[in-house]
Structure 1
């Protein structure tokens, strides 16, 4: 039986060397095709949230499982008795300034990620960076109180559920009007998916940061 597989592999290899793929009679631009189908000028966002939406769904699910895993694995450890953070004014000012810039960049990437380089994952990373910079200059109890006050854990789970529901609806063939190409309100459902991913990544990063600070101290 194995010789059949060997001969089949050799035949396929010879076919790839001898028989060329038929070339189309007209030039095809994959980028133009993606932009036209998705209605967004950023072809990368069109691929992530439309052409390869299955992959993006499971990427979000994997990130969610990673957060749950961090909480599960560290839950049995003893919390740190004392967590130190930066208290000198130059470090606090620089960190808070960097956090403000990172937060503004994250909002920009989330809102306009379908028009220019960027997107939900990059926006979420920028938001998580802003939260991390604030965390190293503030008491962990204060950060935890804000996390609970704004119900960040619930918002994170809601963002995942809404993203999955909208993705399933999109994969079923339902789409919002694309609007004018290049406008802020364009691309149908893609900008909404972009913002949901940004919120998920930022809030998930916040949860992980709090867990590691609580059980491992300020790294």
Structure 2
């Protein structure tokens, strides 16, 4: 059986090595311009993520949600750590809090204007999660857990996922909001809303994972 695999591998290698790759024919239109026209947003990457391949994006959000649930599941049987490691010196705290402020502002900018310039919901969520992580390594675990529970963050995370899925399904079946004027803040139909929902999901989900690792491992 192994000889069949070897012959198949050699045949594929020879095909790649010897057979020429046909040159793509020139198109009568620009793909990027077509995506911008179809989505109504200048950022073609955002148009692809939240329109051309929206079906994939839905499952990316679902996979991220399952990953957060998996972190809870895998650490559920462990004992909470009795020792927590965090920065205690004043210069480190000041620098971390400053970095958190900058990351949070960048995240807000990417979420609101991600359909107009490079950025988007996933990048905004990563920036928001970074801000939360920087605050977590300079604060007590009780403070972070208290804020998380006081603002019902877990509930908002689930709500953002459900709203995203509903709006995405509506878009897939052909129900769309008006695109508005290309290049304006309120443009692209539902795409800016999806950007913000993804940013919330990723940032709040990162917060949940950070708290789990702090609680059960004592560190990030």
Q: Do both share a fold (TM > 0.5)?
A: yes
How far 1:23 sits from its partner (Å)? 4.5
Write out the 4+ residue segments of structure 1 that deviate beyond 4 Å after TM superposition.
Answer: 20-24
2:180 is matched with 179
Q: Distance in 2 between matches of 1:21 and 1:91?
A: 55
2:141 is matched with 140
Instruction: Give a deviation string over 1:48-100, Cα, whole Å, max 9, x none.
Output: 00000000000000000000000011010010012132111101000000000
Classify the secondary structure of the residue corresponding to 1:177: coil
Classify 1:217/1:22 alpha carbon distance in 2 versus 1 (closer, same or farther; 3 Å).
closer
- Counterparts of residues 55-134 of structure 1 (less than 5 Å): 55-134=56-135
How far 1:21 sits from its partner (Å)? 9.0
Q: Does 1:191 align with 2:192?
A: yes
List runs of 5+ in structure 1 lacking aligned partners: 1-5, 7-12
Q: Distance in 2 between matches of 1:202 and 1:78?
A: 26
Classify 1:174/1:21 alpha carbon distance in 2 versus 1 (closer, same or farther; 3 Å).
farther
How far 1:22 sits from its partner (Å)? 9.3
Q: Distance in 2 between matches of 1:44 and 1:22?
A: 22
Classify the secondary structure of the residue corresponding to 1:92: helix
2:212 is matched with 211
How far 1:218 sits from its partner (Å)? 1.6
1:3 is matched with none
Q: Distance in 1 between matches of 2:69 and 2:25?
A: 49
Classify the secondary structure of the residue corresponding to 2:177: coil
Q: Distance in 2 between matches of 1:215 and 1:45?
A: 37
TM-score by length of 2: 0.89
2:12 is matched with none
- Counterparts of residues 144-155 of structure 1 (less than 5 Å): 144-155=145-156
Classify the secondary structure of the residue corresponding to 1:117: coil
RMSD value, Cα: 2.0
How far 1:27 sits from its partner (Å)? 2.2
Classify the secondary structure of the residue corresponding to 1:41: coil
TM-score by length of 1: 0.89
